[in-house]
A and B are shown apart, each in its own frame.
Chain A
Amino acid sequence: MNNEMIKDSMFVKAEVAADEKEHIAAPASGMITDAWARLRKNKAAVVSLFILIAIILLAILAPIFSKYDFAFTDYSNVYSTPTKGHIFGCDQFGRDLWTRVWMGTRISLMIALVAAVLDLVVGVLYGAVSALLGGRVDAIMQRIIEILVGIPSLIIVILFLMAFPAGVGTIIAALSITGWVNMARLVRAEILKLKNQEFVMASHVLGSNNLYIIMKDLIPNTVGIIVIQVMFTIPSAIFTEAFLSFIGIGLAEPQASLGVLINGGYQVLQNYPHVLICPAIVIVLIMVCFSILGDGLRDALDPQMRK
C-alpha cells in the first residue's frame, strides 16, 4: 500500500450518501426485461429464434414468389435433383420441391399454431376454473383429467381420425382433443401454488378483491409456464401431424404438409433420396429450434432458476 498517498487531511469525517449504504451492483429489473436479457445471453436460443423467423418467412413468402405453383407438374423434370431453377429438385410428377416444401411447412406450421392456440385457450380456462373454484367442481374436473391422462393420446387421435374425414380441420381437432390436458394440469398446479403463497395472501389481507388478484397476481405469474408450454406444444403438434401423414392416416396427396412430403419422399428413397431429405431437414430444423428456444425461454422465465 502506498503510504505516502495517505495524507493527514484524509482523517476527517466523510459524508456518506444515504443510498451508498445500500450499494447493490445489479440494477433492479422487471420480469420481462429480465427474461429477455437472459434469453439474449443464450446464444443457441437466439440463433434458434432467428432460424425460426427465417423459416416462417420462407413458409409465407417462398410459395408466393416461386416461379412454380406447388401443384404444377412438369414431366420433363421428373425426379430432377437440385438445380438452379429447382433449388430442392423435383418429385415424381416434376413438381418443384422448393415450393412444395415451403407450402408444406406453411400448412404444418398453421396446423401446429392453431392447435397450440386451442390447447392454450381450453387448457388455461379448464385449469384456472378448476383451481379457482376448488371443492367438488375441482374434484370432478380432476377425475376427468386423470382418465384422459391414462390413455395414450395417440390412440385417441387415431380413433378420432378414423371417425372423421381426413383434412386440416380434422387434424387440428384431433390434436387439440388431447393436447389441452397438460396445459390444464400445469395451470391448475401453478395457480394452486400461487394461491397459497404469502404475496397473494398479503394481497387478500390488504383488501384486494378476487378479480384484482386474478388480474394482478395470478395471471402475470402464470404467463411464464404458459408460454413455455406453448413452446413445447407447437413442435409436438408438428411431429404428430407429420407422423399421422407419414403412416398414411393424416393428410394425403395432393395436399402438401411436411408429413405428406416425407411420406412421398420415403416411397422413392432408394433412388431419389433428395425428395425425402429436403423436407426432413426442414422438419428437424423446426423441431430442434423450437426445442432449444423452449429450453432457453424456460431458463429465462423460471424465477426459481434466477441466480
Chain B
Amino acid sequence: MGKILEVSNLTIHIKTHKGTVQAVRDVNFYLNEQETLAVVGESGSGKSITMKGIMGILPKNGKVTEGTVMYNGKDLTKYTEREMQTIRGSEIAMVFQDPMTSLNPTMRIGKQIEEMLKAHKMDMTAEQRKARAIELLSLVGISNPEQRYKQYPHQLSGGMRQRVVIAIALACDPKVLIADEPTTALDVTIQAQILDLMRDLQKKTKTSIIIITHNLGVVANIADRVAVMYGGKLVETGDVYEIFKNPCHEYTKGLLASIPKAHEKGNRLRAIPGTPPDLMDPPKGCPFAARCNETMVVCQQFMPEYSDCGSDHKSACWLLDPRAKGGKA
C-alpha cells in the first residue's frame, strides 16, 4: 500500500479583523491507499481548516503559509486555482458536516449531481449524465431515485440529504474522499446508517477516506488509523488499535477517558477541564499544557518533538522524553 496523500509541515493562517488566527500549525500526516484515516479533535482544533487547505477551498482570508500537500507525487499547494479545479471533485472529493446547509436550496438534486459530472466528464451526454446521477442515487441507498432526481433538498430528510452529498462526492470516482464530520448533524440512528454506507462504498469503490470527527465511537467503527489534533497541532497519530489501547498524549488519554461507559454505573461523566487555547495568540509551548494534569515547566516553554511510542505511532509530548523523570514515562 502506497501513500496517496502526504501532508508535511502544513501551516494555515486566517486573517480576521481582530488579528491573524494560526489555525493550523506545522501539521504532518499521510493517507495510505484504500485506508480510512480519522482526524480527531474538538471544535476549533484546526481539523476542517486543514482539509479545506488540502482542497484549496479556504475562505478568502485564509492562506497556506507553509508546507506541502503531496498527491500522487505532486504538490497541490503549488497548483493554480484552475489546476486545482481539475483535482477537486474528480481526484479528491469532500462530504460536508451539515447536509441541511451544504446543498443548494434552489437547485434540483439531480442537477447538483450532474454539475460534478459536467465539470469533469466532458465527454458525457446529457442522457448519460442523468443515467449516472440516478445510478448514484440508488448506489447511496435512495429509493425512487427517478423521483428524487427532480426534487429540491428541502423535500428530503437530513439523512437522505447526506446520502445525496455523498452521491455528489462519489460522482467522478475520486481517489480520496474527505468527510468533514459527516454524521455530526444527524440523528443517532441515521449516523450508523451513513457510516455503514461509507464503509460499503469504500469496499466497492476502493477510495481512500479521511474522516473528521470528534466522536470516538465513529473512529472505532470505521478508521484504520487515527490522527489527533489539538490547538492547531497534530499531537498524536497511529494505528487505531494502538491509539485506543496505548494512548501516549495526555490529551488523547483525556479524550478516551471522557467516553461514557455503560458498565461504570453511577460515575460522573468525565470531562477535560478548561477550554482550548486561543489560536490568535497560541502558547509557545505545548498547546495542551494549560489543561494537562502532568504539565511540566518545559511544556509551557517549548514545543515537544514527535517521539515514537510504537510501530508507526507517534506523539508530541514531553513526558515521552527520557529526561522526564518526574513524569510517568
Contacts and interface: CB of A to CB of B under 8 A. Distances in A.
In the complex, A touching B (Cβ < 8 A): yes
Interface of A: 1, 5-6, 8-14, 16, 20-26
A12 B294 CA distance: 9
Contacts of B273: 21
Contacts of B274: 21-22
Interface string B278-311: 1011000000011110111111111101000000
7 contacts: A1-B302, A11-B296, A11-B321, A13-B294, A20-B290, A24-B275, A25-B281
B278 A8 contact: no
A21 B298 contact: no
Contacts of B325: 11
Interface of B: 18, 273-275, 277-278, 280-281, 289-292, 294-303, 305, 318, 321, 323-327
8 closest A-B pairs by CB = A21-B274, A10-B298, A10-B297, A25-B278, A14-B295, A11-B324, A14-B297, A11-B323
A202 B274 CA distance: 26
A10 B285 CA distance: 12
Determine the main DSSP class of A at the interface with B: loop
A14 B300 contact: yes
Contacts of B305: 1
Contacts of A5: 302
A11 B275 contact: no
Contacts of B318: 11
A27 to B, nearest CB: 12
Contacts of B296: 10-14
Contacts of B290: 16, 20-21, 23
Contacts of A24: 275, 278
Nearest to B302: A6
Contacts of B326: 11-13
Given A9-B297, A11-B298, A12-B297, 6 more contacts: A6-B301, A6-B302, A11-B325, A20-B290, A22-B274, A25-B278
B326 to A, nearest CB: 5
A12 B318 CA distance: 11
Contact of B278 (A1, A9, A21, A23): A23
